[in-house]
Amino acid sequence: MLDVHRDSIMRLSVRVGEGCAHLHDRLMRDLQVNLIELDEQWDFISKKQRHVKQGDRDEFGDVWRPRKKPC
């Protein structure tokens, strides 16, 4: 689409991501965090959804839930 090899795009993406991580690590210091809030949390019970078979318990598989967890 842009006539640029995908490996070049991936190398650039990794470089930008690493730069963002370094900037974040440098700027985010000495924060007082009392509560971590996530929009949602994915988890699974016993096995991932793709491995659930007919006859398995109803609660087995993927679980999505809103979550607030104190630190």
Using one digit for the tens of pLDDT, what is the confidence trace for 28-66?
A: 999 998 887 767 778 889 999 999 999 999 999 998 876
pLDDT value at 5 more than 80: yes
The pTM assigned to this predicted structure is 0.44
Which residue type does 46 have?
S
Please name the residues in contact with 42: beta carbons below 8 A apart, sequence gap of 6 or more: 62, 63, 64
